[in-house]
Copies of this chain bind each other. A is one copy, B any other.
């Protein structure tokens, strides 16, 4: 429909970021070239520089966009507080693993390349991870308050649980994307089996302790 008509800037930018994520994921930050990214996006290299300024800013924009997209995919399915906490966690985990499985290049950029290319990207990735951990902390806190009073699980316990959950989800997403035949549902079920009974017991104020 657009033909040779000029596309809106937002559309062009999206094409550039899509191409950049694919190139960065497959070749790494250093090896990926602006020529290839421009070619894959179907635009001229000067236009990429005009819109995104530099390879560094392009990479940073990729990290930001993909982190926000992942966060949004999870947030969307866990907002209904009338749903029981285990079902909300299940929905959130399934959305997370479906997103990482459906966007393997984006996940590779976020989980691997953003962390392995030094600064300023590592700090950018850490900031986004913090945002996701805060979000999960809120979710666990809500579940705890719904289950019993706010006293038994302190804010630090909740933050620590969120770190455990985020770390295991990251680890499983990378494992699933690298394991032929592994599905998002399987990864989500593994994490529910691993985690939910533990969290569920905690919500009932039952704790494991050494004998």
Binding site for B on A (CB under 8 A): 28, 30, 86-87, 90, 112, 115-119, 122, 156-157, 159-161, 163-172, 174-176, 179, 182, 186-187, 189-202, 206-211
Contact = CB atoms under 8 A, between A and B. Distances in A.
Per assembly, the copies of the chain total: 2
Contact of A164 (B86, B195, B210): B195
Contacts of A186: 160
11 contacts: A116-B116, A118-B118, A160-B187, A160-B190, A163-B168, A165-B168, A167-B167, A192-B208, A193-B207, A194-B202, A195-B198
Contact of A172 (B30, B163, B201, B209): B163
Nearest to A86: B208
A201 B210 contact: no
Contacts of A87: 210-211
A59 to B, nearest CB: 13
Given A156-B179, A194-B198, 19 more contacts: A28-B118, A90-B210, A115-B115, A157-B190, A159-B175, A160-B172, A163-B168, A163-B172, A163-B174, A167-B172, A168-B168, A193-B198, A194-B199, A194-B202, A195-B198, A196-B198, A197-B197, A197-B206, A198-B198
B179 A171 contact: no
A163 B187 CA distance: 10
Nearest to A89: B208
Given A116-B115, A163-B172, A182-B156, A197 B190 contact: no
